[in-house]
Amino acid sequence: MATVSNLSPPEDRQSPARWYASGFAVVALIVAARLSLHLLTANRYGIFRDELYYVACSRHLDWGYVDMPPFIPAVTWLFTSLFGASLFVIRLIPAIAGCGAIALTGYQAYQFGGRRFAMALSGLAMAVSAVFVINGHLLGTNDFEALFWMGCASVVIRIIQTGNQKLWLWFGVLAGIGLENKYSMAVFGLGIVVGLLFTPERKAFTHRWIWIAGGIAFLIFLPNLLWNVHRDWPFVQLLHNIHASGRDVELNPVDFFLRQVLMVNPFALPLWLAGLGWLFFGREGRPYRVLGWAYLVTFGVFMVLHGKDYYVAPAYPMLFAAGAVVCEQWIERTGHKWLKPAFALVLVVPALVFLPLIAPVISPPQFVAFTRAIHFAPPISEHSHARSPLPQYYSDELGWEAMVAEVARVYHSLPPEVQARTAIKTSDYGQAGAIDYFGPKYGLPNAVCFHQNYWYWGVHGYTGESIIVLGEGNPAHLKSITEYAEKVGHFEYPYALEDFDIWYVRGLKMSLHDIWEHEKDWD
C-alpha cells in the first residue's frame, strides 16, 4: 500500500541532544508567551456575559442546554469545583485550550513535513491571530473548537501517511466529543466526508473502520441528541427565533470573505492562502487535498447559511501549518535565509501594534481613543452591539457587579419579611447570571429568568406577590398585570451594553408560574 511519509530528513528532527533547539521547543516558547498574556490580563476588565451563563449552567449539569451541548458547562463545573469560581480560574479554561491549539498547529506543520521554522511560523500565526487571541481570553464553546477540528485533521493526515484505517476510530472519538462541545463540528465533519469523496482517499469507505468511527461519534453525541428530541428540539427553535428576529448581521459573500481576512489576521492572508493552494496544487501537498476540500465546504456552508464570520475560524490552523511548510521550502530553495525573521516580524509587529484590539491591555477610555486615532470601528455581528464604542467582547465584560449592587440596594430597602417573598426577575441570561454569581456576596436570592436555559430552571417557588424587575421593555403592560408598579432605579455603566430601568411590582394578577409556562424567551 502506498503511503505518504513525513518529508523532513531524520537529522532535522527532534533528538535528545538538541531538544532545546527543536521546532517543538520553539513552539513551546510561543505557547508560554501566549499563556502569559492571558494570565496577566485575566482580571483586566471583568467577567463576560456568557461566562456568567456558563457558570450558571455548570451548576445545573445536564446532557444539553437550549443554546449549546454539555461540554463547556461540564468543563466549567470541573474547574470551579477543583479551584473555585474566581474569574482567574474561569479564564484558565480558554487560555489552556487556546495554547493547546497553538501546539497542535505546530505539530501539524511537523506532520506536513515541516521543520523548525515551519513549526514556529505556524504556531506564531496562531498565537497572534485575532480571533484566537480573543477566544483565548473568554470562556466559551469557541475555545475548544480548534482543538477538536484540528485533532480530527491530524488523524486524517496520519491515516493518509500510514494507510492505517483503524485510526478512524480516534477520529470518531474526537468528532463525537466535538459535537458535545458545539454542533458546528458536524459541518467540518461534512467537509471531511466531501473531501474523501473528491480524492483517492475515498477508499476509506471500503473499510469498516470509518463506519465504526461514525457509530462511535454518534454514540458519544446520542445523549445530547436525545435531550433535544425529548424537549422538542430547543436548539432548532432557538435558530428559528434568531433568524426571525433579524438580530444577526447578515453578510454577502464578499463581506464574509473580508471578515475572514480581518478576523484571522490580514497579515497572515498570504500564509493561509499559500497553505490552501499547497493542499490542492502542491506536489507534496496534494495527498492532503481532503483538508483543502474540508475548508472550502466549511466556508461555503457557513457563508450560504449566513453564519457568523468566526464560525469558520477553527479551520484555519491547518492552513497556517500548510502555508508555513510552503514558506520554509521556498526559503530553502532560494537560499534567502534572511526571510525567516522577516516573515516572523510581518506577523508579530502588527500584532503588537494592534494588540489593544484583541487583548484587554489598556483601559476602555484608552481603547476608544486608540480606535479613533487609527480610524477603526470594530465590526459587529449583532445589531445590538452597536450601542457601545467597544467591541462586544469587551463591553460585555463591564459593570456586572455594579448592576448587582444596585439591585441589592432595591432588595434590601424592602422589609425583611417582604424580601423573603421577593423574586428578582431579569430580562436575559447575562443579568440572571450576574445575580447568581455575585448575588451571594450581596445577600440576594437566585434570579428568575425566561431566557435560554434559565426557563427550564423555573421560578423557584415565587408566586409573583413581590418582584424586582430588570429591563422591562413594556412598562405599560407591567402596570396592567400588577396591582402596584413603580420605577425604583436605573442602571447603566460606561461602555457597557446594559442600560435599563429597575421596577418594583406587587400583586401580580396571575400566577408567576402560569406566566413562566407561556413566556419562554429563546433567541
Residue 62 has pLDDT above 80, yes or no: yes
| Residue whose C-alpha is closest to residue 324's, from 185, 144, 191, 127 | 127
Query: In this predicted model, which residue has the larger pLDDT, 163 or 249?
Result: 163
Q: Which three cell numbers stand for residue 176?
A: 463525537
Residue 511: what pLDDT?
A: 87
The answer to whether the CB of 395 falls within 8 A of the CB of 385 is yes
For residue 449, what is the enclosing H or E element?
A: strand 448-449
Query: In this predicted model, which residue has the larger pLDDT, 336 or 211?
Result: 211
**Total Cβ atoms within 10 A of residue 78:** 12
Residue 14 has pLDDT above 70, yes or no: no
How far apart, in whole angstroms, are the C-alpha atoms of residue 279 and residue 319?
A: 8
Residue 384 has pLDDT above 80, yes or no: no
Residue 5 has pLDDT above 50, yes or no: no
**Total Cβ atoms within 10 A of residue 336:** 11
Residue 386: what pLDDT?
A: 65
For residue 394, what is the enclosing H or E element?
A: helix 392-395
The answer to whether the CB of 262 falls within 8 A of the CB of 173 is no
Q: What is the pLDDT of residues 27-54, one digit of tens each?
A: 999 999 999 999 999 999 999 999 999 9
Query: Residue range 82-103: average pLDDT?
Result: 97
Residue 381: what pLDDT?
A: 62
Q: Which three cell numbers stand for residue 382?
A: 449583532
Q: Between helices 130-137 and 23-41, what is the axis angle to 10°?
A: 50
Q: How far is CA 147 from the centre of its chain?
A: 11
Q: Which three cell numbers stand for residue 220?
A: 458519544
Residue 11 has pLDDT above 50, yes or no: no
Residue 495: what pLDDT?
A: 92
Q: What is the pLDDT of residues 342-357, one digit of tens each?
A: 999 999 999 999 999 9
SS3 337: coil
Residue 340: what pLDDT?
A: 93
Domain boundaries defined on the chain: 18-357, 400-518
How far apart, in whole angstroms, are the C-alpha atoms of residue 236 and residue 231?
A: 11
How far apart, in whole angstroms, are the C-alpha atoms of residue 258 and residue 265?
A: 11
Residue 383: what pLDDT?
A: 57
Residue 13 has pLDDT above 60, yes or no: no
In the chain, pLDDT over 90 holds for what percent of residues? 85
**Total Cβ atoms within 10 A of residue 226:** 12
How far apart, in whole angstroms, are the C-alpha atoms of residue 52 and residue 434?
A: 6
In the chain, pLDDT over 70 holds for what percent of residues? 94
CA distances (Å), origin 104, targets 169, 212, 340, 398 = 19, 25, 21, 33
Burial class (CB in 10 A: 0-12, 13-18, 19+), 29: exposed
Which pLDDT band, with edges at 50, 70 and 90, does 259 fall under?
very high
Q: How far is CA 300 from the centre of its chain?
A: 20
How does DSSP classify residue 251?
Answer: -
Residue 388: what pLDDT?
A: 78
Residue 19 has pLDDT above 90, yes or no: no
Query: Residue range 160-181: average pLDDT?
Result: 98
Residue 20: what pLDDT?
A: 64
Residue 109: what pLDDT?
A: 98
Q: What is the pLDDT of residues 173-215, one digit of tens each?
A: 999 999 999 999 999 999 999 999 999 999 999 999 999 999 9
Residue 243: what pLDDT?
A: 83
What pTM, to 2 d.p., does this model score?
A: 0.92
Q: What is the pLDDT of residues 476-500, one digit of tens each?
A: 989 999 999 999 999 999 999 899 9
Residue 6: what pLDDT?
A: 52
How far apart, in whole angstroms, are the C-alpha atoms of residue 322 and residue 111?
A: 10
Q: What is the pLDDT of residues 262-311, one digit of tens each?
A: 999 999 999 999 999 999 999 999 999 999 999 999 999 999 998 888 99
Whole-number mean pLDDT of the chain?
Answer: 93
Residue 2 has pLDDT above 60, yes or no: no
Residue 10 has pLDDT above 80, yes or no: no
Q: Which residues pair with 490 in a beta bridge?
A: 501
CA distances (Å), origin 238, targets 246, 398, 514, 518 = 13, 26, 22, 16
Q: What is the pLDDT of residues 106-147, one digit of tens each?
A: 999 999 999 999 999 999 999 999 999 999 999 999 999 999
